[in-house]
Chains A and B, each alone.
Chain A
C-alpha cells in the first residue's frame, strides 16, 4: 500500500481512454463501477472537448455483484455498438472490475459483433496511465497494421514519407506541438503519411505501413508501437522530441538524415529564445538553481534547455516514468545530479526541500510543493490541469515552443522577485491585507482605490456611519474579491436611508436591494 497524496498518473484504463478519445470511429466499452465516469470530465472539462468521449461504462453497483455483472457488460457492449456504430471497439476492465474477473474480451467475443474487437489487458494494480495508453496504441497498431510477409523497401532518398506517432488526447500541449512539427517537416519537404493516434481512424491504421520511417514525438505513448513497426515492417524510427533550440536542431538533422536529404539548420528570426536569453535582462537568470521533475521526455528536454539555453544550474532532476529511467539517469549523470526515479509525491517533495531550488519546473503536483515552500514554479509536463490547456497557441516543440518556454519559465521568477519586494513592505498602509499573497493584496488595494468614490465622500460616510460588530464580522465572511463591493453597496444603502449604524439587517437588506 502506498500513501498517495497526489498521483502523477491515472490508472491504465485512463490511458486507454485517451487513445480512444484521440481517434475517430473507435469506441471503448469499459467494465467499471458507478462513479468511474469521472474520467469523462478529464476530456470535457480539462481539455474542454465539445463531445462526450467515446466510452461506454457498465457502471455496476453493489447490488449487481455476484449475479449478473457479466450480463451487464454484454448488454452495454451490444448497445454501444448499435448506438455509436464504431469501426472497431476496444474492451477492458477498470481496477474494480479487474477484481471481479468477468473477462470483457471473452464476453465481447461471444456477442458475434461484425466489427473488430480488441481486448485490453491492463493490470491496474501494477501499471499506470501512460503504460495503458502505450499498450492500447500498440494493440491497435498490431491489429490493424499486421506484419507483411516481407518488410517493405525504403523509397529513394528525397521521396520518403513518415508517420508521426504519439500525439493524443489529454497530452501536454500535443495539440499545438503537432502544428509546429508539421511546419518543421514541411520546411524540410518531408511528406507526412499519417499522424496517430490523434485524429486517426482504425481504418487509417493499415496505412501506417506506407511510410518509410516513423517519428516518435512522445516515447511514453508511442515507443512500443514504433519498436514493433520497426521489427515487423522494417520501418526505422527516430525519437528526438524537438523541445528546446538544441533538440529542435537535432530533430531536423535526424529527420533529414532518415529522409535522405541534405539540410543546413537555420535559426529564423521568429526563433527568439537565443537572443532573449543572451540579452542583458537575462543576466540575473545565470546560475538560478532549478529543480526539474516530470515525464521523462519533458524532464530530460527541460534539463538541457535549463543548462544550455538559459544558463540555469540544474540542482535536481527526476521522472515518474519508470519505463524511461535509463535515459533520465544518463541525463542526470551528465548534469552531475542524483537521478530521482519515483512516483511518490512525498519523496519528490523531500527532494525539493533538500535541493533548495529557486525555481521548480514540474507538473501540476509540484505546484503544491512550490506553494508550500514559496518557490516559483512553472509546469513543464503532465499531469496538468485546465489552465494548461490554453486557448492560445502554446507548443513546447519547435521554434515557437522554445519562445513559449522562455516566457513561461521566466515569468514566475519575475513574479517571485516582485513578491519578495512586496514582502519587504508589509507594514505599508497600501499593502497590508494579511490574508493574501502580497501580489494579490496589491491588486486588491489598487482596485479598492480605483473603485471607491471620491475621497471626500468616504470621509463623510466614515463620520456618520458605523458598522456594528456582528455586521462587520459577517462582512468578512464574504469572499474578498466581492467584499469591497458589498461594503460599498451597504454603506450607500444605509446613507440613502439616513441610517447611522449598519446592522446585519442593513447588510442583508442592501444585498436584497442591489440583487438585481
Chain B
C-alpha cells in the first residue's frame, strides 16, 4: 500500500458489512447510575429486554432502574391500542416504584420501524402523571444509534427541556457528557480555582438539577459522541467550545485551556492552577510508558472515543496506532484530535467485521482494542486484547486519571507476560 492510499483522517476507509457493535440502548447501563432518580423504560421487543439483562444482569438489582415494555403480537396486529397499552405499563411501573422522578421512554428498532410516536406518549403521560414525574423520550435503536450515541440522544432530549437562561445572565458553563462522579468533582474544583463558578454538568446527578441554557452559556463536550446534543445546545443559543477531549495530560490541559480562554482567565493563573495536575499526570503516565512505547495498537470501532484515546496513547505513551476504527467520525468535533495525530494514520469509519479481522490478523498488533464479541476469540488466536467497553465505564478523564487510563492498556500486556502455563 503506498502512502497516498492510506486512509488518513480526511479519507477514512468506509466499509459496509457486519457491524459488531452495541445499539444505543446499552447507554442505559451507565446512565441509570448517573441519574439516580431516573427510570429508563425501553419500548421494544424481547430482544431489547434480553440485551439489557445480558449486559447489566450480572449485577443483582434489588430495585432495578430500567425495564422493557415488550411489544406482543396483539400490539402489532392492531388488536390493542399501543398507547393504551403503554399507559397501562407506565401505571403499573409507577405504582410499584413511586420514587421515580424522571421516566425516560427509550425507542428501539421495533418501535421505530412501526413508527410508534413516543414523543406524543411522553407528552400525554406528563399530563396524566405530572408534575411529580417528568417524562422524556429518545431513541436508542440499533438502526439509528451505536452504543454511546444513546447517551447523545438522551442528552439531546434533556437539552431540549432545559430552562431558558435570561439574555443578561452571567456567563455560565455546561460540561456535557456523563462523567464519573469523582472526575466531575475534580473538574469542578479546577474550574472554581480558575474563577469559573457557574458550572453545571449534563446530565446532572438528579433530574431536578437541570441547568439553564441561553446565549451566555458556553458548552464544552467532555465526551466525543455528543454531536446531536451539541447541535441542540447551539440551537438554544449556547456557544460550543472546541478542544481535544480531556484524556491524558495534554488533552486535559487543552480542554481546560479552551474553557479558560472562553472565560478570559489569565494565562499566569491558568498555569499556576493546572501545573500540579499536569505534573502528576505526566509522572503517572511516565511510569507506564516503558510498557507501552513502540507497541502497535489496533482499534476496532465501538464508542467514537477511539481517536481521542489513540491520540493520548500516541502522544503521551509512544504507541503506534495501526488502525483507528470508529463507528462514526464527527469531522468537526474530531478535528482537534486529528491535528495531534500523524497525517497518515489509518482511519476507518463504519465496519465490515470480517474484513477488519483479516486486517487485524495480518497486522498482528501488540494489542487489539475491541468489543467483547471479538476479545476472547482474538486472545485464542494469540492476539492480546483490551476490551473497549471498559473505557466507557471507567473514570479516565482529567489529570488524576491519566495514569489509570494508561494502566488499562498496560494491564492485558502485563498479564500475558506474567502468566506462565505453557500452551
User: Chain A residues in contact with chain B, CB under 8 A?
Assistant: 1-7, 9-11, 13-14, 33-42, 44-46, 48-52, 56-62, 64-65, 76, 79, 83, 94-96, 99-100, 123-126, 128-129, 346, 364-365, 367-368, 371-372, 383, 385-387, 474, 477-478, 504-505, 508-509, 511-513, 515-516
Known contacts A6-B57, A35-B51, A368-B61; is A65 also within 8 Å of B71 by CB?
no
Q: How far is the CA of A137 from the CA of B86 in the complex (A)?
A: 36
Give chain B's interface secondary structure class. helix
Question: Does B269 touch A at the CB level, under 8 Å?
Answer: no
A321 to chain B, nearest CB (A): 15
> Which A residues are in CB contact (< 8 Å) with B283?
512-513, 515
A13 to chain B, nearest CB (A): 8
Are the C-beta atoms of B63 and A372 separated by less than 8 Å?
yes
> Which A residues are in CB contact (< 8 Å) with B288?
516
Are the C-beta atoms of A33 and B373 separated by less than 8 Å?
no
> Which A residues are in CB contact (< 8 Å) with B136?
none
> Which A residues are in CB contact (< 8 Å) with B64?
5-6, 368
Interface stretch (choices B127-135, B139-147, B151-159, B312-320): B139-147
Question: Does B113 touch A at the CB level, under 8 Å?
Answer: yes
Contact of A515 among B23, B43, B92, B287 (CB under 8 A): B287
Binary interface profile of B, 62-87, with partner A (CB < 8 Å = 1, else 0)? Answer: 11100111111101100010100110
Q: How far is the CA of A503 from the CA of B143 in the complex (A)?
A: 49
Known contacts A44-B373, A95-B46, A386-B58; is A35 also within 8 Å of B80 by CB?
no
> Which A residues are in CB contact (< 8 Å) with B110?
95-96, 99
Q: How far is the CA of A364 from the CA of B57 in the complex (A)?
A: 8
Are the C-beta atoms of B45 and A37 separated by less than 8 Å?
no
Are the C-beta atoms of A515 and B403 separated by less than 8 Å?
yes
Question: Does B189 touch A at the CB level, under 8 Å?
Answer: yes
Question: Does B392 touch A at the CB level, under 8 Å?
Answer: no
Chain B residues with a Cβ closer than 8 Å to the other chain, count: 79
Are the C-beta atoms of A94 and B47 separated by less than 8 Å?
yes
Question: Does B32 touch A at the CB level, under 8 Å?
Answer: no
Are the C-beta atoms of B377 and A1 separated by less than 8 Å?
no
Nearest to B279 among chain A residues (CB) is: A512
Known contacts A474-B185, A509-B280; is A51 also within 8 Å of B50 by CB?
no
Given contact pairs A46-B54, A59-B142, A100-B113, enumerate 4 new A-B contacts (beta carbons under 8 Å).
A4-B46, A59-B19, A64-B143, A79-B17
> Which A residues are in CB contact (< 8 Å) with B61?
368, 371
> Which A residues are in CB contact (< 8 Å) with B57?
6, 364-365, 383, 385
Binary interface profile of B, 98-140, with partner A (CB < 8 Å = 1, else 0)? Answer: 0000000000011011100000000000000000000000000
Are the C-beta atoms of A62 and B143 separated by less than 8 Å?
yes
B414 to chain A, nearest CB (A): 12
> Which B residues are in CB contact (< 8 Å) with A65?
113, 143
> Which A residues are in CB contact (< 8 Å) with B55?
38, 41
Are the C-beta atoms of A33 and B62 separated by less than 8 Å?
no
> Which A residues are in CB contact (< 8 Å) with B380?
50-51
> Which A residues are in CB contact (< 8 Å) with B19?
34, 37, 59, 61
Known contacts A51-B380, A95-B45; is A76 also within 8 Å of B18 by CB?
yes
Question: Does B408 touch A at the CB level, under 8 Å?
Answer: no
Binary interface profile of B, 350-379, with partner A (CB < 8 Å = 1, else 0)? Answer: 000010000000000000000011111101
5 contacts between A and B (CB under 8 A): A13-B47, A35-B146, A99-B76, A123-B73, A371-B61
A75 to chain B, nearest CB (A): 9
B386 to chain A, nearest CB (A): 15
A101 to chain B, nearest CB (A): 11
Are the C-beta atoms of B284 and A512 separated by less than 8 Å?
yes
Are the C-beta atoms of B92 and A33 separated by less than 8 Å?
no
> Which A residues are in CB contact (< 8 Å) with B18?
37, 56-59, 76
Binary interface profile of B, 185-220, with partner A (CB < 8 Å = 1, else 0)? Answer: 100010000000000000000000000000000000
> Which B residues are in CB contact (< 8 Å) with A37?
18-21, 373
Q: How far is the CA of A509 from the CA of B72 in the complex (A)?
A: 57
Known contacts A3-B89, A57-B18, A61-B144; is A371 also within 8 Å of B376 by CB?
no
Are the C-beta atoms of A125 and B22 separated by less than 8 Å?
no
Nearest to B16 among chain A residues (CB) is: A72
Contact of A33 among B23, B26, B185, B276 (CB under 8 A): B23
Query: Closest 4 A-B residue pairs measured CB to CB?
Result: A35-B23, A35-B142, A50-B380, A40-B373
> Which B residues are in CB contact (< 8 Å) with A3?
67, 69, 89, 92-93
Known contacts A10-B47, A51-B377; is A126 also within 8 Å of B75 by CB?
no
> Which A residues are in CB contact (< 8 Å) with B71?
1, 125
Are the C-beta atoms of B54 and A38 separated by less than 8 Å?
yes
Nearest to A3 among chain B residues (CB) is: B89
Binary interface profile of B, 223-260, with partner A (CB < 8 Å = 1, else 0)? Answer: 00000000000000000000000000000000000000
Chain B stretch 9-31: residues in CB contact (< 8 A) with chain A: 17-26
Are the C-beta atoms of B377 and A44 separated by less than 8 Å?
yes
Q: How far is the CA of A300 from the CA of B413 in the complex (A)?
A: 47
